[in-house]
Amino acid sequence: MKAKKLFNPKGDDSLNERKVIGGNTTNIFNLNNVKYTWANRLYRVMMENFWIPEKVDLTSDINDYKNLTDDEKKAFDGILSFLIFLDSIQTNNVPHISDYITSPEINLILAIQTYQEAIHSQSYQYLIETILPKETRNYIYDLWRDDKTLFARNKYIAQTFQDFLDSPSLNHFKKALIANYLLEGLYFYNGFNFFYNLASRHKMPGTTDIIRYINRDELLHVVIFKRIIPEVITDQDIPWVHEMFHTAVEQEIEWTNHIIGNNILGISKDATDKYTKFLANTLLQRINLNHLFPGYTKNPYEHLEKIADTEGKGDVKANFFESTVTSYNQSSSIDGWDF
């Protein structure tokens, strides 16, 4: 598998010849004629979802953090470390995926995703530098090296990306797409729910606002890959796709139980198991594959959706705790994963 040419005078961007991969693109963003209209619609939504983390007031979070329990602090620090690593990896990884995509309208939204991943990484830095004591900040950045459970799960996704970088075969490309899909749609969500849980108890409202905006972006990134993957994988790929999902679910459950367990009010190992398998089944269904975990069709954290506001049922501009972020949050366009 070869990356597309950057300068390609003999390319053909006509709709009949346009492909997700393997096309002969000129790399001109000719958006007057678009084959994948979903990408054009998604571009508009992603552009509307502009936000700036520093405009979220973290004043009350500074004091709230000091009053968290030791278990809550452990979870807060560990989840931040996990999120920092993966969004940093994504910022560097998405452009490499885009090098092999030959549809200009999809390249365009992958460029927006790269920008948003960078904003997410910078948002975590803003949280760390504002809320955490100076002496603990380096610990957060380095935890992924020292915690064996965290290292193992970070390695699984990162190594899949690295394998494609080292050997850009079609099979490695497909696995990198599935890894992206799992990262955006499964890996973050028990962590996100931890922050929503804190907010439901009136703790860390500013942090939760930032997580909500990140969560909103990630749902749109899920849409990108749920659209690309069915164009690329075949029935022969289903066994290893299921294997990747199974491994990801096991690691997500192990990590969440390791960093949260039964130590946080409102979160339990049983709920973690149900929620993670529910997410996996939902993601598989979105790419037209059968459920891997029969019977796991209900979200045990539905009571937190009002805070998360990720289902398109409410106004994502609304701030659950009436702080000041509505003045810059420009879009309420998200509508689940149904692009």
Known catalytic residues are 124
Question: Max alpha carbon distance in the chain (Å)?
Answer: 64
In 3D space, the residue among 283, 311, 128 whose CA is nearest the CA of residue 210 turns out to be 128
Of 313, 317, 311, 280, the C-alpha closest to 295 is 280
Which of 219, 180, 192 is closest to 91 using CA atoms?
180
| DSSP conformational letter for 5 | P
Side chain identity at 133, as an amino acid letter?
A: P
- The span from the CA of 28 to the CA of 23, in Å, is 13
Structure tokens of 56?
Answer: 């979220």
Structure tokens at 287: 């790419």
Give residue 78's identity as a one-letter amino acid code: G
List CB contacts of 150: < 8 A, sequence separation 6 or more. Answer: 78, 81, 82, 85, 143, 144, 255, 258, 259
C-alpha to C-alpha distance for 241 and 226, rounded to whole angstroms? 13
